[in-house]
Structure 1
Amino acid sequence: MKDILYLAYFLWPSKYLSKFKYYLNQIAFFLLGCWLLGCSDFVEVDSPKNILISETVFNDPATVESALANIYYKLRDQGMVSGNFGLTTLMGIYADELDYYGTNHSYHEFYNHTVANENSILLSWWNHAYHLIYASNDILKGLEASHNIPFEKRESLTGQTLFIRAYIHSHLVSLFGEIPYITSTDYLKNQEISRTAESEVYEHIIADLRNAIDFLKNTENKVGERVIPDQNTAKALLARIYLYTEKWDLASSLATEVIEAYAIEPNLDDVFLKTSQETIWQLKPGVNPKNTQEANQLIIQGIPGQNYALSESLLSNFENGDLRYINWIGTKSNTDNDVTLKYAHKYKLLFHEMESLEYSILFRLAEQYLIRAETMAKLGNFARAQQDLNVIRNRAGLSNTTANSLNEILDAILQERQVELFSEHGHRWFDLKRTGKAPEVLSVLKSNWEHYNLLFPIPEKELSINPNLLPQNNGY
């Protein structure tokens, strides 16, 4: 390893141990392949060298930026975050947002709540997530040993990478419960690692995000892009994590800091444009096609042929006069006009001839208002909770909330989150789960609902590779 090193994070540390030498030979083509696949779309850096001497790999900021660009590319096009198997669609059909009309067996397991531990999507989520976590750890290890990258640049790169590691783990723990929190690049150690209690996983996530906030203090996102996670991105995720772990004061404080740094986009039609002033972090589409994953997946172009449509359960929860129903929901009928379906139309452009006007938004300001509203209600400040809730309602053309007790306000916030954040990265499912509403809501809609459906099973192949991941989650 002292002679020639290619960015080691491309290696998967546990599953492919027998192919280790093969990957060392193949990895030389990784950086060139990354460029060809459009990784550099995320950041404007020079094309990386193909062969890197170990002593200089992490002494060149452009090389590390290219490594991070590859992670952003994989977040965008693969795995659970924004790809074809992303949380938006899969958790939309698992919860009560989307109906599924396709023929994929693994998707039907999600829609019908019959997910088995051999489900191919779960395996792809698990493998892809830990692949990127390993990549992040390799970057962090290299940055720590680097002495030639300017201090502020090294801090920014370190902060971005810590954020990514925390972000991916936050999805894993929400989906699977107890999981390994990986911070090492020792593949021998990683292949035998055990699962960590959920509370400890969240402690690790919080620690990574707090460090990321400190490292990112001098990182500024370009207006109109916001494709690089900065300090406010880390704060936004940490506010969400504090909400999930019921640390109301801390969640409220951080949400306030983010709210003060941005402004709500007044026009609903502009919220999902790449230039939206309320966007905190987004992923830039690839060169071809010049559109977003969300537009590709959710806009119905013809009936039959559609995969998803908005559920009646969601549509019935919009109030009369809600402008989001008009601006963010599209309608499509078949040629005989005897079948009409509605679809999420937040992202409107299936194709743009020059450059996409819409990026895949992962964090936006409206969520922070709803986080603060919920935490204020929990802390007994009903007036402030109503005020934050009304910011979102008024933007949608609705009058101020009439909720004035704790339970009424919490119910109003949950409904507002449903109609504001629908078809966005599984928010609805995570809300139903964390508030304890999933059994009440989904048992009526899903005939196969079982309480153990709150967690997914650990993929069976991973259990066979590493028995230390046992026991399997209850019910599977």
Structure 2
Amino acid sequence: MRRIEQLLYLIKKGGMVILEQVVFGHCLVLVALGLSLWGCSDFVEVDPPKNTLISETVFDDAATVESALANLYFEMREQGMVSGSFGLTTGMGIYADELDYFASNADYSQLYQHNVIAGNNLVFTWWSQAYHLIYSANDIIKGVEASENLTDDERKRFKGQALFVRGYIHSLLVGVYGDVPYITTTDYVENNDVNRMAVGEVYERVIADLNDAVVLFEESGMDATGRILPDAHVAKALLARMYLYTKQWEKAVTHSTELIGAFVLEQDLDRVFLKDSPETIWQLKADADFPKNTREAGQLIIQGIPGQTYALTDDLLGAFETDDLRRDHWVNSISDGDGTITLHYAYKYKADLNETVSLEYSILFRLAEQYLIRAEARARLGNITGAQADLNRIRNRAELPDTAFGTLDGLMEAIIQERRIELFTEQGHRWFDLKRTGRADKVLGALKSNWKPTDVLLPIPEAELETNPNLLPQNNGY
């Protein structure tokens, strides 16, 4: 795509529309719905229907702010790194060792074959959409802080959600690209000249935003009905993950323990991914019209051979232990008409996109991860018995015996293995685990013929470096 085509690609066509700066200060002339619109650093001025964001009116009452936030969650579900169609689940699934790729899209083929270039359109789209969401979150933060019409509880509730989104998206960016800018303003002039921050500083800022969000949520008394909006529990779930990633073991234990006490592990494996699962901490609600269920199911379930896009790798299938019920309940297979080819696919989400009722939402945080976070953190703190107990809660649900490992090294291997099986094809967990534990080179180097040690980071999009040279130097290897 040319630059203008890449920008146009990021804009949702219909429904709730945001037309504004999407990438560090670029201005763009757009024609939409028969109106000539000039988009720059602010939201476009049009008549204020409930489903459109306009800076001057969106903060007049709670309903319009809720619409603005709903738009963020919609875009997370449909576009960018969090998307069930084009996000980390499939993109980093083929980049790591979870999914084989059979289609011919050049951008995805580069990920699968580990020959990514800085002009890769998917790499550009992930980056652009991420900062578009961050910009929108910052606009909401700025607006609710200045609003004179919201109640104090509403202001805290809305700011908490926007802070969480800002922290969450930055946490994904730093995991994929390494050093990245941490954007906290809507000033497009300032944003156009930002520098990249070191990974450690980005994580510090993510954690700060999340802690601020927790305070705001708790002070406002927010408790998300249906677990479809971020609340204090969701912020703490991401905090537990961030503390694990930054090796703050005690804090990881504290936050995961609180969540383990607040949620219930679903024992029926066929119900774990239903929208009313008691172990879901946060999920993105399906559309009222279409799709009524998840994009993940639409991407991962193979309808026929030929015609498949993704399938589970033999390496992942071989990692399941004998008699692991997750192999029976979360993996399915299909053969071609001659019965000569059989492929396996992720079957966590089972509801077809064309279902007339909503059965499943896209789950971003669930309790099983918190058990595994606590197991790892406890092991690092020398609490071997506690780590074994947490690991066994996940293993026993799959009708596997208690772990046999009682040393730190053995237990860490067992925990990483359990994370691989429990969290496969969920938002790139496998990739992030390989990267953060220093295993990517060893594991993927043995499986991917083009793998290079520098592949632990994706490139900063070429178009962004051209626009803002302060983002240089490019990541090694590109």
Matched, 1:362 2:364: yes
Once the two structures are TM-superposed, the CA of residue 340 in structure 1 deviates from its matched residue by 0.3
- The answer as to whether partners of 1:9 and 1:136 remain within 8 angstroms in 2 is no
CA distance in 1: counterparts of 2:393 and 2:244, whole angstroms: 19
Matched, 1:114 2:151: no
| 2:26 match | 16
Once the two structures are TM-superposed, the CA of residue 19 in structure 1 deviates from its matched residue by 4.2
Closer, same or farther: CA 275–30 of 1 in aligned 2, 3 Å: farther
Once the two structures are TM-superposed, the CA of residue 14 in structure 1 deviates from its matched residue by 2.9
| 2:44 match | 27
Matched, 1:429 2:431: yes
| 2:292 match | 290
Which range moves more in the overlay, 145-154 or 349-358?
349-358
Once the two structures are TM-superposed, the CA of residue 130 in structure 1 deviates from its matched residue by 0.4
Q: Residue type matched to 1:248 in 2?
A: W
Once the two structures are TM-superposed, the CA of residue 7 in structure 1 deviates from its matched residue by 10
Match of 1:446 among 428, 445, 448: 448
- SS in structure 2 of the partner of residue 392 of structure 1: helix
CA distance in 1: counterparts of 2:17 and 2:53, whole angstroms: 9
Which range moves more in the overlay, 395-404 or 57-66?
57-66
- SS in structure 2 of the partner of residue 238 of structure 1: helix
CA distance in 2: counterparts of 1:413 and 1:387, whole angstroms: 12
Q: How does 1:274-285 map to 2 (within 5 A)?
A: 274-285=275-286
- SS in structure 1 of the partner of residue 110 of structure 2: helix
- The answer as to whether partners of 2:79 and 2:86 remain within 8 angstroms in 1 is yes
CA distance in 2: counterparts of 1:308 and 1:352, whole angstroms: 20
| 1:42 match | none
CA distance in 2: counterparts of 1:376 and 1:27, whole angstroms: 50
- 1:108-157 Cα shifts (integer Å, max 9, x gaps): 11001111101000000011000110000000001111122111111111
| 1:37 match | none
- SS in structure 2 of the partner of residue 161 of structure 1: helix
CA distance in 2: counterparts of 1:26 and 1:247, whole angstroms: 39
Closer, same or farther: CA 280–26 of 1 in aligned 2, 3 Å: closer
| 1:35 match | none
| 1:38 match | none
CA distance in 2: counterparts of 1:336 and 1:69, whole angstroms: 47
Once the two structures are TM-superposed, the CA of residue 53 in structure 1 deviates from its matched residue by 8.2
CA distance in 2: counterparts of 1:18 and 1:319, whole angstroms: 54
Once the two structures are TM-superposed, the CA of residue 29 in structure 1 deviates from its matched residue by 5.3
CA distance in 1: counterparts of 2:271 and 2:82, whole angstroms: 23
| 1:377 match | 379
Once the two structures are TM-superposed, the CA of residue 84 in structure 1 deviates from its matched residue by 2.0
CA distance in 2: counterparts of 1:53 and 1:455, whole angstroms: 36
Matched, 1:229 2:230: yes
Q: How does 1:18-417 map to 2 (within 5 A)?
A: 19=29, 22-23=38-39, 27-28=44-45, 32=49, 47-48=50-51, 54=56, 56-217=57-218, 218-222=221-225, 225-286=226-287, 287-351=289-353, 353-417=355-419
- The answer as to whether partners of 2:23 and 2:128 remain within 8 angstroms in 1 is no
- The answer as to whether partners of 2:25 and 2:191 remain within 8 angstroms in 1 is no
Closer, same or farther: CA 52–162 of 1 in aligned 2, 3 Å: closer
- The answer as to whether partners of 1:221 and 1:228 remain within 8 angstroms in 2 is yes
TM-score normalised by L of structure 2? 0.92
Q: Residue type matched to 1:150 in 2?
A: T
Q: Residue type matched to 2:228 in 1?
A: V
- 1:70-106 Cα shifts (integer Å, max 9, x gaps): 0000000011102421000010000000011111111
- The answer as to whether partners of 2:19 and 2:39 remain within 8 angstroms in 1 is no
- 1:192-225 Cα shifts (integer Å, max 9, x gaps): 1111111111111010000001111111121xx2
- The answer as to whether partners of 1:162 and 1:208 remain within 8 angstroms in 2 is yes
CA distance in 1: counterparts of 2:391 and 2:47, whole angstroms: 47
Closer, same or farther: CA 78–18 of 1 in aligned 2, 3 Å: closer
Once the two structures are TM-superposed, the CA of residue 28 in structure 1 deviates from its matched residue by 4.1
- SS in structure 2 of the partner of residue 216 of structure 1: helix
CA distance in 2: counterparts of 1:423 and 1:162, whole angstroms: 27
- The answer as to whether partners of 2:293 and 2:355 remain within 8 angstroms in 1 is no
| 2:7 match | none
CA distance in 1: counterparts of 2:355 and 2:442, whole angstroms: 46
Q: Residue type matched to 2:424 in 1?
A: F
- 1:357-378 Cα shifts (integer Å, max 9, x gaps): 0000000000000000000000
- SS in structure 2 of the partner of residue 363 of structure 1: strand
Closer, same or farther: CA 182–340 of 1 in aligned 2, 3 Å: same
- The answer as to whether partners of 1:13 and 1:185 remain within 8 angstroms in 2 is no
Once the two structures are TM-superposed, the CA of residue 394 in structure 1 deviates from its matched residue by 0.3
| 2:12 match | none
User: What is the percent sequence identity of the aligned residues?
Assistant: 54
- The answer as to whether partners of 1:15 and 1:465 remain within 8 angstroms in 2 is no
Matched residue count:
453
For structure 2, the 5+ residue unaligned runs are 1-15, 31-36
Once the two structures are TM-superposed, the CA of residue 9 in structure 1 deviates from its matched residue by 7.9
- SS in structure 2 of the partner of residue 22 of structure 1: strand
- SS in structure 1 of the partner of residue 283 of structure 2: strand
CA distance in 1: counterparts of 2:250 and 2:53, whole angstroms: 49
Q: Residue type matched to 1:169 in 2?
A: H
Match of 1:472 among 467, 471, 474: 474
Matched, 1:460 2:470: no
After superposition, the CA RMSD in angstroms is 1.9
TM-score normalised by L of structure 1? 0.92
CA distance in 2: counterparts of 1:332 and 1:342, whole angstroms: 7
- SS in structure 1 of the partner of residue 345 of structure 2: strand
- The answer as to whether partners of 2:164 and 2:210 remain within 8 angstroms in 1 is yes
Once the two structures are TM-superposed, the CA of residue 261 in structure 1 deviates from its matched residue by 0.6
Once the two structures are TM-superposed, the CA of residue 290 in structure 1 deviates from its matched residue by 1.9
